[in-house]
Structure 1
Amino acid sequence: MPPKIRGMSANSTLKRFTLMLSGEDFLDNDVQESLDGAPANGLPHERFLLGAKLPIAPVLLLGQSDQAFDPNLSIACLQPVHFHATRDHLVLLGQSQVNLTASESAQLLQAALPFIEEDFESPLLFNGGNDWFIQAGPFTSLATHSVDQAHGRNIDWWMPRDTDQEGVAKRWRKLQNEIQMLWHVDPTNEERTARGLPSINSLWISGIGKLQDVQTPMPLQEVKMLCGSHPLLPGLAKYLGITHQEQLDPSQLINTFAWLNQAESIWPILTQALIDKQLDEIELIDFPKGKLRQRIFKIGDLYKRSWKIWNKPTMRSWQEIAE
C-alpha cells in the first residue's frame, strides 16, 4: 500500500515527526501563476511556510531581534550582495557565496545608510549583521524575490517589479544604482579585491510584508519544536511560541518539524524510531516540480513489496522514498 496522503490520518495523539525538503522553482505555466511573464513569487517551501503574501522580512527580523515591532508594519529586508558579470548578463551571488564578514557589512551599511533612510523615509529598524531591516514605506508595493530564489541567476528576471503602483521599481533601481556607485570606491571593497574576494557591489531588497500576514500551514500548528539552520526558522518558532534548535536531537523526535540541509542523513534515525515504536509515523513534505506533496509513512510503508511471498521484505532506500 502506498504511503497515505496527509489528512487520511489526523489523530493528534499520534507520535509524529515531520520532515520538509526544500523546493525549487518549476517554471511552468500552471505553477508560475503569472500573467506578465514574471517568475513565481517565492520558492515552494517559502510559500508553504509563510503563505501567499510571503512576509519573509518580518519573520527574519523576529528571529534575529528581541525588539518589539508592530505586526501591522510593512518591513523590508536589505542585503548587500555581489552581481557577477558574465558575457551578456549579471548573476546574483548571495552573502554565503562571497564570504562577507560582519565588520565588512557594518562598514558598507555606514556608507549607504543616509541614502537608504532618505529614500525609505524611515530610520533603520535593526541591523542584523548581513540583513538590514527597515520599514518598507514607499517601496511597500514592490514584488520581490528572496536571495535564496534569485541567487545564481540572471538578475534581469528577478529584479523587483511594480504591482499596483507604477514607478516604485524605477525608484528602487535609482537608489540601488546610487549605492552601487558609492560602494564601488569604498575602502571595504578595495580591501576585498586585494584579497581576491568578490566586491560587494549591490543591494538586494526582498521579503516585504507584515508579520500579521503570516499564514502557517497545519503541520506547523501541530508541532512543539522546529529544527534546522535556515534563518526563517527562529522567527517562525518565536511566532508560534515554540522552541527552535539547529541540530536534530534523536531523543526529541515527537512533534518536531525539521527542515534540514541533508535530510537523507537523518532518514536511518527516523526509520529506526519507527521500528522501535518511538514514532508512530513520519510526515514527509516535498515539492516535486514545484508542487506541494505531503505523505505519511508508517512502519509498513518503509518496505518493498514482492509478489514472491517467500522473499523477505527489504527496506526502501531514501532515494526511493524521495523520488
Structure 2
Amino acid sequence: MQIQLLIPGLLWPTATLLGPAAGLALDGLAALLGRGTHSMLGFEPYDRQLARLFGLEGDALPLAALRRLGETDAPPPTDGNHWLCADPVNLSFAREHMLLQAFDDDQLPAEESAQLVAALNEVFADLGRFEACTPTRWYLRLPQASRVTLYPLDDVVGRPVKHFLPEGEDARLWQRTMNEAQIVLHNHALSRAREASGLRAVNSVWLWGAGEFERMPQAPAALVQATDPLSIGLARASQCPVATPDLASALRQDTLVVIDSLHKPAQRLDLDAWRRGLEALERDWFAPLAEALRRGRIDTLRLTAPGDRGTLVVANRRSDHWKFWRKPYAFDALLKSTAPAPITLPDAPPPTAPHTDR
C-alpha cells in the first residue's frame, strides 16, 4: 500500500535568526526524515506539481475549470463554458511597487462579495459572467476560450504585480479588463466604507487559470483526500473518489492526501499559526504514519512539500525500519540547512588607491 502526502507550506519560506520549528516536539517527522531518504529539488509552482500527480503537464493547464469543478455546486466537466478564476484582491503601493494581497473567507462577508460581483456583471455583461462560489473564490464564465497566459494568484501574493501581467495573444484584452475592474471596485461604495473603517478594500480582481483540456486527468491513487477545490476538481475530473483527509481511511488503500493547512500561514509569514498547524500535522499524520511504517502497515510513503525556494521530497519504505543506523533528523535542522547562506563580510578592508602628493 502506498500513501502520497502533498503539503504546501511545510517549508517555512524565510530564514530566521531562531529556527521556525525550534522547540516543537516533532519526533514522528524526524523519524520519517531520518529513516527514509530526503532531497531538495528545484523550485516548481505548487499547482504544476499537483497537476502532474494527475498526469497533466504544460504551461496552459485549465486550472480555473478544474477549481470550478471542485466547488460545492460544480457544473458538469463538459458544460461548454470556459472559465477564469477572478479572485478579489487588494492592491496597494509599497515604495515604488504595487503589491497584491488576497483575502481569507472570514475577511470578506458573503453579502459584500455578492454586491461587488453584481457590480462587475453590470459593467462586463458583454464579456462573460462573474460568479462567487465563496466570498473569496470568484470566477468569470466565458463563452469562448482565450489565448492568454495568466499567473496563478499564489505566485503573485506579496510580490510586485508588474512582473505577473497577462501575456500572449489576448494579453491586452485581459490587461484592460483587469484595469477596468479595478476602477469599478475601487469606486464602489463598499470599498470606500471598508477603507473608512480601517479594513482592506477589494479594489481589484486577479484573473488566472486560463487553459483548455487537452486530456483528462488520470487518477493518481484509489482515493484522493483533500479539502481545497483544485484538488477536489482534479479528483472529480479523473473520476477518482474524493474525501476529506482522514488517516484511518488513508491506511486502507493507496491514497493521495493533500493537506494545505500550512499554505496560507506560510504565505502570510504567520509564524504562530504555522507552528500550531505543524504541531497538528505531527499529532494527526507524521507520528501515526511513522508508527504505521514501523509496524509494516505501509509499503511506501512519499511526502512532497513545495516551497518558494525548492521542493522537499521524503521517501520511506517499509524496509527502512530495519536500518537502525539511520538516526532521526530534526526538522528544524533541515530548515536551517535549506536557508540561504548569510552574507559574509571580508576580514580585511578593501584596497585603497595609492596616495599621491600634488
Band the TM-score falls in, shorter-chain normalisation: 0.7 to 0.9
Looking at structure 1, the residues matched to 237 and 185 of structure 2 have their Cα atoms a distance apart, in angstroms, of 36
Q: Which residue of 2 aligns with 1:153?
A: 159
Contact 1:62 1:238 in 2 (8 A): yes
The amino acid across from 1:249 in the alignment is L
* Residue 295 of structure 2 corresponds to residue 276 of structure 1: yes
1:230 paired with 2:228, answer yes
Within the candidate set 184, 205, 212, 1:182 is matched to: 184
Deviation at 1:142, TM superposition (A): 1.1
Q: Structure 1 residues 284 and 140, CA, compared in 2 at 3 Å: closer, same or farther?
A: same
Aligned residues: 281
Distance 1:17 1:47, change over 3 A: closer
CA distance in 1, matches of 2:318, 2:329: 11
Q: Which residue of 2 aligns with 1:256?
A: 255
Structure 1 residue 201, shift from structure 2 partner: 0.7
- State the 1:117 CA deviation: 2.8
Question: Which is further off, 40-49 or 227-236?
Answer: 40-49
The answer to whether structure 1 residue 59 and structure 2 residue 45 are counterparts is no
State which structure, 1 or 2, has the greater radius of gyration over its C-alpha atoms.
Answer: 2
The equivalent of 1:143 in structure 2 is 149
- The separation in 2 between residues aligned to 1:215 and 1:282, in whole angstroms, is 22
Distance 2:109 2:65 in 1: 23
Q: Which amino acid aligns with 2:138?
A: W
- Give structure 2 stretches of 5+ with no counterpart: 14-41, 263-277, 339-358
Query: What are structure 1's unaligned runs of at least 5 residues?
Result: 1-14, 26-30, 33-39, 307-312
Summarize deviations over 1:5-38 as a string: whole Å, max 9, x none.
xxxxxxxxxx11111233899xxxxx79xxxxxx
Cα deviation, residue 291, structure 1? 6.7
After TM superposition, list the pairs within 5 Å mapping 1:17-166 onto structure 2.
Answer: 17-22=3-8, 43-49=47-53, 50-52=56-58, 53-64=60-71, 65-70=73-78, 73-96=81-104, 99-118=107-126, 120=127, 122-124=128-130, 126-129=131-134, 130-136=136-142, 140-161=146-167, 163=168, 165=169
Residue 137 of structure 1 deviates from its aligned partner by: 5.3
Q: 1:255 to 1:69 in 2, by over 3 A?
A: closer
Cα drift, residue 47 of structure 1 = 5.0
Structure 2 distance, partners of 1:46, 1:251, is: 21
* Higher mean C-alpha displacement, 200-209 vs 296-305: 296-305
TM-score, with structure 1 as normaliser: 0.73
Bigger relative contact order, structure 1 or 2 (CA pairs below 8 A, ≥6 apart): 2
Question: Residues of 2 paired with 1:58 and 1:98: CA distance?
Answer: 24
**Residues 16 and 42 (structure 1 numbering): CA distance in 2 closer, same or farther, change over 3 Å?**
closer
Counterpart residue number, 1:28: none
Distance 1:240 1:117, change over 3 A: same
Letter in 1 for 2:49: H
Secondary structure at the counterpart of residue 78 of structure 2? coil
> C-alpha root-mean-square deviation of aligned residues, in Å?
3.4
User: 1:271: how far off?
Assistant: 0.9
How many angstroms apart in 1 are the aligned matches of 2:307 and 2:192? Answer: 43
1:245 alignment partner in structure 2 = 243
1:4 counterpart residue number? none
**CA–CA distance in 2 between the matches of 1:114 and 1:101?**
21
Change (3 A) 1:303 1:72: farther
Residue equivalent to 2:30: none
The 3 A distance-change label for structure 1 pair 133 and 182 is closer
**Cα distance per residue 1:208-256 (max 9 Å; x no partner):** 123454545xxxx341222233331221221122333333333432311
Counterpart secondary structure, 1:153: coil
Percent identity over the alignment is 21
Offset at residue 79 of structure 1 (A): 1.3
Q: Secondary structure at the residue paired with 1:82?
A: strand
Is 2:304 the partner of 1:285?
A: yes
Farther off after superposition, 58-67 or 173-182? 173-182
Name the counterpart of 1:12: none
Deviations 1:250-295 (A, max 9, x none): 3432311112135752211111111222212212234578777766
State the SS of the aligned residue for 1:175. helix
Query: SS of the residue aligned with 2:70?
Result: helix
Give the residue type in structure 2 aligned to 1:177.
N
- For residues 250 and 321 of structure 1, the distance between their equivalents in structure 2, rounded to whole angstroms, comes to 29
Q: Which moved more, 1:146-155 or 1:286-295?
A: 286-295
Does the 8 Å contact 1:286/1:294 carry over to 2?
yes
